[in-house]
Amino acid sequence: MFKNFLNKQVNIAQPIEARKEQVKRESVPSHIAIIMDGNGRWAKKRALPRIAGHREGMKNVKKITRCASDIGVEVLTVYAFSTENWKRPKEEVDFLMRLPVDFLDTFLPELIERNVRVEMIGEPDVLPKHTQGALFEAMERTKHNTGLILNFALNYGSRDEMVRAMKAVMQKVQQGDLCIQDVDEVCLSQHMMTSHLPEPDLLIRTSGEVRLSNFMLWQLAYTEFWFTDILWPDFEEDAFLDAVQGYQKRNRRYGGLKGEETN
């Protein structure tokens, strides 16, 4: 019931390009974050290995990236691999570490053509060299692009991010570069991995799970949530536009009142 309340589908039988134009007439979220969940269950339903679901899920990132770019989203952050995902079987982890290489090898020319800039949040140091190489090359070759930012959360955990931010602030205080009185929300935000990005307007989580799973806990304080039962590989453009149109119907008050509520 909770999910259904948050996720009222906008079932409009329109061609996808017409829907994109309709969405663009309203306020489009500047930053959309996605927890891409359900790859393993998608594969299991088809009696396939889990890695087949991950492969299909990465293909779907391409579709949603194109759609987000088309409607004018500024930042698309996708939760690709968490700090907790290292606990998975080695074969699966090794495959997941190959996916960014394959993804960027085939998709980078189109990203460049579309003026998309590739970025990442997370700790890259422990990633395999081939994963680091693919990401760093994509980031270097797209660093001057001015369109959509495709932001991979890779080896990312929000609690780890906050601990690192606090340590950086504490070190500055100890060194005398920062006064304790100046440590506030703005100061902490400036030490997060997303300090140069707007906070997410919309969070989408697929597969029916209704939790944040250690994802952008600081940044999601006033984000609108959209939960759906659709498994990530099946989350097509229509479903993505449903989420955006659902967001456009929300009344974002940030703790205050808007419109007729103030009368």
- From 70, 85, 102, 214, active-site residue: 85
Do 116 and 83 meet the contact criterion of CB atoms below 8 Å apart?
A: no
Overall size of the chain counted in residues: 263
| Calpha distance 52→246 (Å, rounded) | 31
Give 187's DSSP letter.
H
Rg of the chain (C-alpha set): 19
In a domain, 62, yes or no: yes
**Which tens digits make up the pLDDT trace of 53-82?**
999 999 999 999 999 999 999 999 999 999
37 is catalytic: yes
- From 4, 11, 37, 102, active-site residue: 37
Give 175's Cβ-side CA count (13 Å radius).
Answer: 7
| Calpha distance 134→99 (Å, rounded) | 10
In a domain, 210, yes or no: yes
In a domain, 192, yes or no: no
pLDDT score at 102? 95
In a domain, 165, yes or no: no
Residue 259 annotated in ligand binding: no
Domain containing residue 231: CATH number: 3.40.1180.10
Residue 117 annotated in ligand binding: no
pLDDT score at 8? 46
pLDDT score at 19? 97
Residue 226 annotated in ligand binding: no
Per DSSP, helices labelled H in 16-89 are 16-24, 39-45, 50-71
Residue 146 annotated in ligand binding: no
Locus of tokens 């759609």: 67
Residue 7 annotated in ligand binding: no
Residue 84 annotated in ligand binding: yes
Residue 40 annotated in ligand binding: yes
Do 229 and 1 meet the contact criterion of CB atoms below 8 Å apart?
A: no
Adjacency order of strands within the sheet including 149-156:
117-121, 149-156, 75-82, 31-35, 202-205, 224-227
Q: What spatial distance separates the first Cα and last Cα of the chain, rounded to whole Å?
A: 32
| Calpha distance 50→43 (Å, rounded) | 6
On average, the pLDDT of the chain sits at 93
| Calpha distance 97→154 (Å, rounded) | 10
Best CA proximity match to 217, nearest among 240, 194, 245: 194
In this prediction, the residues of the chain whose per-residue pLDDT falls under 50 are: 1-2, 4-5, 8-12
85 is catalytic: yes
pLDDT score at 258? 60
Give 73's DSSP letter.
-
Q: How many domains does the chain have?
A: 1
Range of the domain at 68: 28-157+199-250
